[in-house]
Structure 1
Amino acid sequence: MIDAFHSHIKTNLDFLNKSKLLIAISGGLDSVVLTHLCHKLKLDMSLAHCNFNLRGIESDADESFVLELADKFGLEVFVESFNTEDYANEHKMSIQMAARELRYDWFYDLAEGLGFDYILTAHHADDNLETVLINLTRGTGLNGLTGIPEINDNIVRPLLPFSRDDLENYAKANHIKWREDSSNASDKYLRNKLRHHVIPVLKEVNPELLKNFKKTLGNLNDTADIVDESLNAVAKRAIDVIDEHQIKFKISELKKVNNPKAYLYELLKDYGFTEWNDVVNLLDAQSGKQVFSETHRLIKDREHLIITECHTERSGSATEEPIIISETDKKFQTPIGSLFFDEADAVFGKRTNVIFVDRDTFKFPLSLRQWEKGDSFYPLGMKGKKKLSKYFKDEKLSLVDKENVWLLCSGDDVVWVVNSRADDRFKVTKNTKHILKIELN
């Protein structure tokens, strides 16, 4: 196997030969064999071991085993102990998910802090098959059937072409010892059920299962490339706006494609949506209709679908306390940026983030607050009073836009609908003696 591993590294992962590597090692067969193989190739590597404290003395014995192996090979080793159960309870997640999050967060911190180029994990061909079967049982799209990526940012999995049998045969032939995790014998987890009961039957039916599975993955990944190319072309035409609050998709472009549901799934799958028929129905729904996931919402707004993070819905009811600004404040940090106040000799330029006002027409302190139902103002350049809700409608602001409107006020009077329109009552005239420039950056 060492020759096959060396050939694989040289042909497909040659950059590892010139990189500083951190190997994630549990003490089990897979990671121990990976460590031996990389040591044989004289790669520049260190070890990282997580003690999740889930199996009492077994966990401590795993840690001791890894320390001894590192000492045998003269390798630097890092060990971190976690209270995994407490973390899982605190974050309301499964033990497996908690261990995964703790593990990878620590690996990333080590790599960033100590200058490791890549993190190596010991996932192999059987792991890949199990992952695809798990995704299949839970319902998935094409990406869920393309397997574990060999390279994912700075995570590299050099053993993916090799089976567990390959690793075990190599270990036994070279008298390599490893630790057995007793939890792997339990059928408590879906992965173990598939490993113990489903995959052996599949291998019995077809001894070439892993070989054929590898071919299938290659075909599916080729298809995924075609899908990505088509998806990127549609996204380029459909995405109208991307900012810190929202992404706006043109409905007209989404309706042009042959299968809007498929494209919407690919565009929005990372935002947690599950009711895909409801998502598709938004294309023809009334403006204001919404579909929610746990983290995001999708809104139909006239000619757009808008995705934004879920927040407490405002609907014109302020959720933050007003910010008070005194006369001595020349620069003031706010949730929407920095407000600058400066004297000016004249009105110049025309930008939505800047207004010029007659300093003598209002009193300090000013307040910066979110808009509320019933708010009204006198739009600059217009005669008469106008409710903000009517102004928003005339300006064709979306629900998301309206939720992010802030007002600069003097007492109960609106001086500025920030980044949109100043109030006519405070405008600079020929009789103005003191001009104040207010700018948001």
Structure 2
Amino acid sequence: MLLKLQKHLNQNLPFLQDKKLLLAVSGGIDSMVLVHLFQKLNYDITIAHCNFGLRGDESDGDENFIKDYASKNNIKIFVTHFDTNKYALDFKLSIQLSARQLRYNWFYDLMKEKQLDYLLTAHHLDDSLETFLINLSRGTGIEGLTGIPQQNDKIIRPLLPFSRNEIEEYAKENNISWREDSSNASNKYLRNKLRHDVVPVLKSLNTSFMDSFQDTLIHLQQTQSLAEDASVLVYKQVVTEKENQKHININELKRLPNYKAYLYQWLNPFGFTAWYDIYELSDSQSGKQVLSDGYRLLKDREYLILEPIEEPVTNVYEIPEGITEISQPFPIRLISVNKTLKKIENNAIYVDAATLKFPLFARKWQEGDYFCPAGMKGQRKKVSKYFKDEKMSLSEKEKTWLLCSGDQVVWIINKRADERFKVTSQTTQILKIEVL
């Protein structure tokens, strides 16, 4: 196994040579074999151990065992303690997810503080198989069937080519001691249930099952790579990026023979899970949307618009009389002028100051709002009808502000002024209102 690992490192992870490596060590057989192997290969290693306080004396025993090993082998070691149960309650997370967040946050902080280059974990081929089966049982795309990645940013998993059997044989051959985690014997968690009840059956059906599974992973990873390449090429043809939005052209999208696969590839990184609703969205009426935790996908006529969900803002800002400038919701300036400019200014309007009733208000539009569009001689129009006529998307409507005098709309800001406040030959004081 040592020679096989050395070859694997030389071919696939050569950048680890001469780097400072932090090894995540629980005390179990996998992580103890990881430490032993990298000791033998003379890498610069440091041990990091987390005591999650979940198994009482057993957790403390793991900690003492690893400290003793590090001392005897002259290896630098860092240990931390977590109140995992409290963290899980505070953040309403499972114990497993809480432990994961706690340890990886600490690992990254430790690497930064001690100037260590990479974190190594002892995940192996059987872990990839269990992950494959978990994702398969829950439903997934191809990326969920490609196993555990060899590298995520600064996290490296050098033992992925090795099975649990290979690790156990190496431990026995080299008289490596380790600690057994009693929770691994329980079928409380899905991973353990698969490990104890499903994986042995699969291995019994084919004596070379793990080799076959590794070949399958390689084929799936290659297929995933091809899918990603195709996705990037098609993305450029179908999607237009505008500020913080992505506009997916529905007509171009539906010309693709497997357009749902492309949608999945593009949207999966944004946390969407309601795939049936997403696939139906292209045929829905405008205004329909599908939400993830931080994003929404909105149907707007011939486009699907992907954008982040913005934090709600205060809907009303007051502009008292005598104030010449406000900064919220965005900079607005009010100044007296002697004449109006003939050229159209989208970011400014000129009004008869005598027609205004202070304080003025800047607010988001509401259902039922109406105004008298400038140039239409006092004819009333619902703001919502104006939006529709202008073919504004739901996102654009939500971002539109009104400037109001009492309950009357003075200006759909940056879009259309109201006829009732226009400058006439009878005007004695002209007020210019502009967005800076």
Same fold (TM over 0.5): yes
* Superposed displacement of residue 275, structure 1: 4.5
Correspondence 1:156-175 to 2 at 5 A: 156-175=156-175
State the TM-score, normalizing by the size of structure 1.
Answer: 0.85
Name the CA distance, whole Å, in 2 between partners of 1:59 and 1:97: 18
Q: Which residue of 1 aligns with 2:188?
A: 188
* AA aligned opposite 1:339: P
User: In 2, are the aligned partners of 1:380 and 1:421 still within 8 Å (CA)?
Assistant: yes
For 2:207 and 2:342, how far apart are their aligned partners in 1? 79
Larger Rg computed on CA atoms = 2
| Alignment pair present for 1:280 and 2:275 | no
Cα shift at 1:277: 3.6
- Alpha-carbon distance, 1:109 to partner: 3.4
Count of residues paired in the alignment: 430
Equivalent position amino acid for 2:139 in 1: G
Instruction: Give 2:252's aligned residue.
Output: 253
Please name the residue that 1:339 is paired with: 331
- Partner in structure 2 of residue 131 of structure 1: 131
Residue type at the aligned position of 2:103: R
Q: What residue in structure 1 maps to residue 199 of structure 2?
A: 199
Query: Does the C-alpha gap of structure 1 residues 350 and 270 become closer, same or farther in structure 2, counting only changes over 3 Å?
Result: farther
Asked if the contact 1:416–1:422 (Cα under 8 Å) also holds between the matched residues in 2, the reply is: yes
Q: What's the CA shift for 1:21? A: 2.7
The alpha-carbon deviation at position 143 of structure 1 amounts to 0.6
In the alignment, the residues of structure 2 paired with residue 66 and residue 199 of structure 1 have an alpha-carbon distance, to the nearest angstrom, of 30
Aligned pair 1:412/2:407, yes or no?
Answer: yes
Secondary structure (helix, strand or coil) at the match of 1:110 reads: helix
Residue 439 (1) aligns with residue 432 (2): no
253-262 or 39-48: which moved more? 39-48
State how far apart, in whole Å, the 1-side matches of 2:274 and 2:10 are. Answer: 46
Q: Whole-Å Cα distance in 2 between the matches of residues 237 and 206 of structure 1?
A: 45
After superposition, the C-alpha distances for 1:323-351 in whole angstroms (9 at most, x for unaligned) are 234555746254xxx41537698869977
In structure 2, C-alpha distance between the alignment counterparts of 1:351 and 1:158, rounded to whole Å: 62
Equivalent of 2:388, from 381, 387, 393?
393
SS in 2 for 1:369: strand
Q: Do 1:185 and 1:192's aligned partners in 2 also have CA atoms closer than 8 Å?
A: yes
Question: What is the aligned partner in structure 2 of residue 300 from structure 1?
Answer: 299
Aligned runs of 1:361-372 on 2, under 5 Å? Answer: 362=356, 365-372=359-366
Aligned-pair identity (%):
50
What letter matches 1:240 in structure 2? T
Q: What is the CA distance between 1:186 and its match in structure 2? A: 0.9
- Answer whether contact 1:319 1:370 (CA < 8 A) is retained: no
Gaps of 5+ in 2: none
Once the two structures are superposed, residues 98-136 of structure 1 have per-residue CA deviations (whole angstroms, 9 ceiling, x without a partner) of: 222222233233334554332221111111111111111
> Is residue 375 of structure 1 aligned with residue 375 of structure 2?
no
Return the offset for 1:170. 2.3
- Tell me the residue number matched to 1:64: 64
CA distance in 2, matches of 1:414, 1:115: 59
Distance 2:220 2:228 in 1: 12
Report the residue type matching 1:438 in the other structure: E
SS at match of 1:233: helix
Judge conservation of contact 2:319–2:326 (CA < 8 Å) in 1. no
TM-fit CA distance, 1:298: 3.5
Query: How far apart are 1:204 and its partner, in Å?
Result: 2.4
370-379 or 286-295, larger mean C-alpha shift? 286-295
- The one-letter code sitting in structure 2 at the alignment partner of 1:209 is F
Write the distance in 2 (CA, Å) between the matches of 1:97 and 1:366. Answer: 50
From the superposition, tell whether residues 243 and 104 of structure 1 become closer, same or farther in structure 2 (CA, over 3 Å). Answer: farther
User: Does the CA-based 8 Å contact 1:330-1:340 persist in structure 2?
Assistant: yes
Counterpart residue type for residue 392 of structure 1: F
Q: Within 2, Cα distance between the matches of 1:120 and 1:419?
A: 55
CA distance in 1, matches of 2:58, 2:335: 72
What TM-score do the two structures reach when normalised by structure 2? 0.85
Q: Residue 315 of structure 1 corresponds to which residue in structure 2?
A: none
Alignment RMSD (CA, Å): 3.3
Q: Is the 8 A contact 1:120 1:155 kept in 2?
A: yes
Question: What SS is found at the alignment partner of 1:373?
Answer: coil
Distance 1:97 1:110 in 2: 20
Return the offset for 1:411: 3.8
Which residue of the partner structure matches residue 314 of structure 2? Answer: 320
8 Å contact 2:270–2:292 — kept in the other structure? yes
State the Cα distance separating 1:22 from its structure 2 match: 2.5
What amino acid sits opposite 2:367 in the alignment?
A: K
Distance 1:231 1:393 in 2: 34
Q: CA deviation at 1:268?
A: 2.6
